[in-house]
Amino acid sequence: MSQITTHVLDTAIGKPAEGIDLTLSHLVNGKWDLLGGGTTDRDGRVSDLLPNEVILKEGRYKVLFVTESYFDKQKVEAFYPYAEVVFDISGDGEHYHIPLLLSPFGYSTYRGS
């Protein structure tokens, strides 16, 4: 399993959000270095965000969820074109799950397991 996983749920319809493009980046010397990306599947997950053997260093990371095209496809007006979730990891190889609860006019996240 990838050290970083995510799951996007559309709370307005009570279902996983399929088709959301996202990227994972690492902050290095004040610039975001792209590490990987993907598109959520029908379960709202990206199973291969990083290769399984990659162990991330301690530091600041972000997942950028591009929500605009997801809502456009549904013909739903939405307020946020994307959601950025920035977080710090300890560099010990621990698994980090970054879920996103999404609706057209809001979103939230938490440290998952």
**Distance (Å, whole) CA 18 – CA 46:** 10
Q: Using 50, 70 and 90 to split pLDDT, how confident is the model at 93?
A: confident
Domain 4-109 architecture:
Sandwich (2.60)
pLDDT at 74 over 90: yes
Q: Which percentage of the chain shows pLDDT scores above 70?
A: 100
Average pLDDT of the chain is 96
**Distance (Å, whole) CA 38 – CA 50:** 10
Q: Using 50, 70 and 90 to split pLDDT, how confident is the model at 1?
A: confident
What pLDDT score was predicted for residue 59?
97
- With b meaning 16 or more CB within 10 Å and e meaning fewer, what string describes 30-47? eebeeebebebeeebbbe
Q: Using 50, 70 and 90 to split pLDDT, how confident is the model at 75?
A: very high
Predicted TM-score (pTM) of the model is 0.94
